[in-house]
Copies of this chain bind each other. A is one copy, B any other.
Amino acid sequence: MKNPASLDELIHALRCLPGVGPRSAQRMAYHLLQRDHAGAKRLANSLDYALEHISHCEKCNNFTEEVVCELCRSERRDATLLCVVEMPADLLMMEQAHCYKGMYFVLMGRLSPLDGIGPREIHLDRLLKRTQDGVVREVVLATNFTVEGEATAHYIGELLHTKGLKVTRIARGLPVGGELEHVDSGTLAQAVIERRAI
Contacts and interface: CB of A to CB of B under 8 A. Distances in A.
A44 B44 contact: yes
Most chain B C-beta atoms within 10 Å of own C-beta, residue among A2, A5, A13, A49: A13
A194 to B, nearest CB: 28
Nearest to A77: B1
A83 to B, nearest CB: 12
Contacts of A87: 30
Nearest to A87: B30
A48 B180 CA distance: 54
A27 B88 CA distance: 10
Contact of A4 (B1, B2, B54): B54
A34 to B, nearest CB: 5
A92 interface: yes
Contact of A50 (B27, B33, B39, B54): B33
A17 B32 contact: yes
Given A1-B70, A51-B41, A63 B16 contact: no
A71 B3 CA distance: 11
Given A1-B71, A31-B18, A26 B65 contact: no
A58 to B, nearest CB: 14
A195 interface: no
Interface in A80-94: 87-89, 91-92
A157 B29 CA distance: 30
A3 B63 contact: yes
Contacts of A3: 63, 88, 92
A3 to B, nearest CB: 7
Given A19-B27, A34-B109, 19 more contacts: A1-B92, A1-B95, A4-B65, A4-B69, A6-B53, A6-B65, A7-B50, A13-B43, A13-B46, A16-B32, A16-B36, A16-B42, A17-B31, A18-B31, A19-B24, A26-B89, A33-B54, A37-B51, A44-B45
